[in-house]
Amino acid sequence: MNKKFFYSLFFVIIIFCFGSCDEENINTFKLSLGENVFLLEPTVIDTKKVSEGINITVFVLIPDDKILDRFEINNVEKELENGDVYKFRMSNNTKITASFKGFYSLDLAEGISVVEPKRLDLDKVKEGERLTIKAEVTGVNAVESFKLNDNIELSEFTYKLGDDKIYAETSFIIEDNTIVGLKYSDKFKIPPINFYKKKGDDVLFLKKQNQFNGENILIPNFVTIIERGAFGGNSVVNSILMLEGITHIEEAAFYNCSNLVSINIPKSVSSISGDAFKKTPWYNNINSEAVDGLVIISDILIWVDENKEFVEIPEGVLSIGGSAFDERSNLISVVIPNSVTSIGDYAFYKCNKLSTINIPESVTNIGKSAFGNCSKLANITIPYGIKIIEARTFEFCENLSSIVIPDSVEEICFRAFGNCDNFKSIIIPSSVSYMGFSVFIGCSNLKTIYCSASDPAPATTPEGWKNPWIGMNCSATVVWGYTGD
């Protein structure tokens, strides 16, 4: 065997070995294509042995009477390019599937539009698709329902407040070709957009010079606060329907609505201020709803029989409504359960025989004048958690000799302790950053006010305190920087 032949044979063997080794080092995977999924590139391939790193393009053939429901690679949904193509790099065993559904058309009446999904072909809406739609509310008639194909009514919907329009919004699942319309109420009117004002996270129903005078008024669910005096003196309104969403009904909101005989208080309401319903036929007849002398609506104590001397509020009541006990001249003692979190404005105003009451730690809000003119009240504890002592909260509590202000309190408002003649001394914690005018006006026997705040000299009051914050007819000495020693 000559040397030239030997070397040639050697190189052939080496090349064959290296080539075989390279093929063995290339990973291959399986490619499984479901029904209606076809390989576009490469055009020819062994799907049982696809080399790693190869670029693959597949095409989905969508039947004429169907619409794509899901396109998945290894059970993970993917979005097709141009509606029917998908490209990827082979990196593991890959299973590609496509599923289809029937489609229907959606015909929307004027003023109705689709909210979700945002991109939708109204002529090809996927069977089983959940749609959210909204309708512009025109005129003053409240919406009664959405209508589907004249034989289905969707009565569950919510109102939305836009920048210059009110909308009704609902959702449903498409199951057939569908025509969507709107049905308006023959009874209830909804005040137009100029009656509402956004304020932070809240929407207020406003008091207007020219009131909305429908006999039957619906207050939409986007309203959170009914403003003070909003309907005050309205002699036309006969019934009010408040939807869930309202949280606060302010002072005198429906005061002196002389024909108001029907009103509901939704569960969402957490506080009702003083005189909210006074001088209405509904409130004048509320005693007919009393149980053991108490009227409780939506977990709010609204009214108390004026003849009761001792009241134990049932567990589960969340709020004592404004004016609930006011001017109950026979009331001596009240037990408040731990479920109560709020005491409304004027709640116990002028209960001039009230001598004993507990305020549990669960209470975080006490309204203005809540205990004003409770002249026999000798002891009361402000619970930790109260941040504001509102205006006139304890004014004319003439028998109250002392009170502890917890260091959760940040504000003490106008005349909060005015004319508490029996006060001898009081401690103001360092947490108080605001003092209103005349907080201690008329406290003629108050000798010393101990303030944990540092001496504000040369200023006469700390920053954030009004001047005069003590008030007339009170000559108390102020000790600044008090530490309790």
pLDDT tens-place string over residues 64-73? 888 898 999 9
Q: Cβ(238)–Cβ(261) under 8 Å?
A: yes
pLDDT score recorded for residue 475: 95
Return phi, psi of residue 277, to 5°: -120, 10
Is the model's pLDDT at 210 over the cut of 90?
no
The residue to which tokens 């009904």 are assigned: 249
Instruction: Report how far residue 106's alpha carbon sits from residue 131's, in angstroms, rounded to the nearest whole number.
Output: 10
- 10 and 46 in a common domain: yes
DSSP 244: B
Structural domain including 364 reads 289-377
- 331 and 301 in a common domain: yes
pLDDT in tens, 121-131: 999 998 999 99
Cα 101 to the center of its chain, rounded Å: 38
Predicted TM-score (pTM) above 0.75: yes
pLDDT in tens, 37-67: 999 999 889 999 999 999 999 999 999 888 8
Give the sheet arrangement for strand 130-136, strand by strand: 112-116, 130-136, 166-173, 158-161
- Written as six digits, the tokens of 454 are 């540092």
130 domain-assigned: yes
Give the residue-averaged pLDDT of 180-207: 95
Taking every pair of Cα atoms in the chain, the longest distance, rounded to a whole number of angstroms, is 132
67 domain-assigned: yes
pLDDT in tens, 292-308: 999 999 999 999 999 99
Give the burial string for 277-302 (b: 16+ CB within 10 Å, else e).
Answer: bbbbebbeeeeeeeeeebbbbebbbb
Q: How many Cα neighbours within 13 Å face the side chain of 344?
A: 27
Give the residue-averaged pLDDT of 333-357: 96
Instruction: Report how far residue 55's alpha carbon sits from residue 38's, in angstroms, rounded to the nearest whole number.
Output: 15
Domains: count for the chain = 5
- 345 and 324 in a common domain: yes
Q: Could you tell me which residues are beta bridge partners of residue 48?
A: none
Instruction: Report how far residue 95's alpha carbon sits from residue 74's, in angstroms, rounded to the nearest whole number.
Output: 5
Instruction: Report how far residue 231's alpha carbon sits from residue 219's, in angstroms, rounded to the nearest whole number.
Output: 12
- 114 and 81 in a common domain: no
Domain at 155, CATH number: 2.60.40
- Residue 465 in 3-state DSSP? strand
Instruction: Report how far residue 99's alpha carbon sits from residue 89's, in angstroms, rounded to the nearest whole number.
Output: 22
